[in-house]
Structure 1
C-alpha cells in the first residue's frame, strides 16, 4: 500500500495537537482540507483514526498504533531532505575519490586543505589503492571519481587530462650523462627497483625497453613508488618512479634523471564513470583539481634534478592543457605513453 506523506503529515499534526483548528493554523491549510486528508487516509487504511466530538479530538486504538510509525516516517523523510539540501548547498555530504598512494601523498594534501577551508561541512573520503582497484571502484559507483593515468580500452569511463607526467630514474647523481639524463639502454645495465607487473607504469617501461631490445636487471620488485624510493636511498639500485612520486621530496645523494631514447611520458587526469552526474561538492572539487593540480616542471637540460626540484607549488594558474582521448597532443616531445588497463 502506498500512502501519501502529506496525509501522514496531516494525521500527525492533528494527533499531536488534539485539534483540527490548531493543526490548520500551523499548516496554513483550512480545517476542511485537513478533514478531507484524514478521511482519505482512513479510507486507504480501512480504519478510523480519530474519535471526533464537537469539543475534542482523540485517537482511536488504530490511530494510537499508527502514531509512532508516522512520527518516524516523517522524521526520516525530513532528515533525508536536510541531507540533500546540505549536499546541494555544499554544506554537507561526502566526496569519495580514489587514487594511487603517491598521488594522494604528494599531490592532494594542499588541494584538500583548500577545499576544506571553503567547504568545511563536506566530508572527504580518500581511497589510496592501485589504479586497477580505483577503476573498479568507479565502475561499482563506490567512488565519485578517481585520479590517475589514462585508462586504456575503457568505454564505460571518461578521462579528463590534468597534466603530462614523466617516468624518471632515481639514481646516484654520478650516474647521469652529460645532459643530466640517462638512456633507457643504459638503465638496462644497472640494478633496477620497480613496481610490480600489475602496475601500468611497469608495463609501459618494459614495453619501451623491449622495443629497443633491452632487458632489466631486476633487483627489487615493490608495490608502491614510495618503497622503491626508500630502497634506492639505501643503495639497493636505481628506482624507476613516476614524476609525481618525487614532488617535494629530497633524497640525499640521489638525483631524478630524465629517461631518454625514448622518453617515457603519460597523462594523469580525472577518471569518472561515463554518464555519472556528480554532486555539487564533487563537481566543485574537480574544478579545483582542473585549476590547481600540480603542473610538474620539466627536467633541466644540463644538470640532473634533485628529487625535491620536481615539485611546483600549487597555484591558481590553470593546469597545462592536454589533448583529450582520441586527439593528437600538440607541441609535445615524442616518447612512449601508457594507459592504465581497464
Structure 2
C-alpha cells in the first residue's frame, strides 16, 4: 500500500466540490498539479475514481465506495492532529502534581483556580502529600512535578526555589503571649502544645526550633490538621505553630500569630522535577502561573505592610 495523505484529502475535496479547480484552490495547488495528483492516486489504486466531463467531475462507483471508507478516518485524523497541536500549544492536556498541604491551602489552590479559568480544556489533579511522599511521587514519575521541600539534594531531581516561609506561634487573642512582639522558645516550652503529626513539615519546623534552643518537649495534643489545631487553641487548650503563608487562608478569629525569636525556623518551598523529564506545555504553563501568583502575593503583602506602618 502506497497511500499518501494529501492525495486522499484532495480526492475527498474534489468529491465534495464536484470540481478539480475548487479542490485545487483549497489545497493551494494549481489545477494541472491537482489533476496529476489524482491520476497518480488512480494509478496506485488501479481504478478510475472520477467520471470527468467538461463542466464537472462525478464519482465513479469505485470512487463512491472509496469516499465512504476514507471520509470518516480522515476526519478522525484531522481531529487527532488538532488535538495534538492543542497539547503542544498548551491549550489541552493533563497535569498531575503533588504539594504540601500548607501550600495547597493558598498558593496552589489560588493558582489552580486561575489556571482552570484560563485553560478550561486542560484537566488538573492535585495531590496533598508530606515531604518524603511528595518527593517519592516525583521520583517514581507518578506526578509531573511537586511543590514542596527537597530535604536533601538528589541526583535525579531538580529544585527551583519558589519562596521562603517562616514559622509563627498561634495563641488565643487574650493569652499573655499575645501582647509580646516576639516570643522565645523558652516561653513556649511552658505551654501546652498542640502539634500536627510527625510527618508534617510544620511539626518538623517546630521541633527543630526547640532543639536549636536546647529544649526537649512533647506535645500535649497531636491532631491531624491545621483547622483542628486552631480550634483547640481558640478553646484555650494550648498553643500551636503555623507557617506564615497559610495564616491569611485560615480562620484566625480570636487568635493571634506572634513572631518567634531566634532561632526562627525557615523552610524553602520550590518546584521539584526529575532532571530527565521535560515538563509538558500544560505543566510548564501552570508552573509559570504559580511563580506569577507568588510574586503578586508578595507585592500585596508588602503594600499591606506599608499601609499598616503608615
- Which category describes the TM-score, using the shorter chain as reference length? 0.7 to 0.9
In the superposition, relative to structure 1, how do residues 263 and 80 fare at CA in structure 2: closer, same or farther (>3 Å)? Answer: closer
How is 1:321-332 mapped onto 2 (pairs within 5 angstroms)?
Answer: none
Is the contact between residue 165 and residue 269 of structure 2 (CA under 8 Å) also seen in structure 1?
yes
> 1:9 — aligned with what?
9
How is 1:1-342 mapped onto 2 (pairs within 5 angstroms)?
Answer: 4-38=4-38, 47-48=45-46, 50-55=48-53, 56-58=58-60, 60=62, 61-81=65-85, 83-84=86-87, 87=89, 98-107=98-107, 119=118, 125=124, 127=126, 129-132=128-131, 134-136=134-136, 138-139=138-139, 145-172=145-172, 173-176=174-177, 179-210=180-211, 212-222=214-224, 224-247=225-248, 249=250, 251-274=252-275, 276-277=278-279, 279=281, 281-282=285-286, 284-289=288-293, 291-294=295-298, 312=301
SS at match of 2:29: coil
Is the contact between residue 188 and residue 216 of structure 1 (CA under 8 Å) also seen in structure 2?
no
- CA shift, 1:285, in A, is 0.9
- CA shift, 1:29, in A, is 1.1
Is the contact between residue 164 and residue 267 of structure 1 (CA under 8 Å) also seen in structure 2?
yes
Is the contact between residue 13 and residue 23 of structure 1 (CA under 8 Å) also seen in structure 2?
yes
Distance 2:17 2:158 in 1: 55
| TM-score, normalised with respect to structure 2 | 0.72
Write the deviation string for residues 231-254 of structure 1: whole angstroms up to 9, x where unpaired: 322233221221112126563443
Bigger radius of gyration among the two: 2
- CA shift, 1:129, in A, is 0.8
In the superposition, relative to structure 1, how do residues 270 and 23 fare at CA in structure 2: closer, same or farther (>3 Å)? Answer: same
In the superposition, relative to structure 1, how do residues 258 and 42 fare at CA in structure 2: closer, same or farther (>3 Å)? Answer: farther
Name whichever of 144-153 and 64-73 sits farther off. Answer: 144-153
| TM-score, normalised with respect to structure 1 | 0.67
- CA shift, 1:74, in A, is 2.5
SS at match of 1:247: helix
Distance 1:272 1:293 in 2: 24
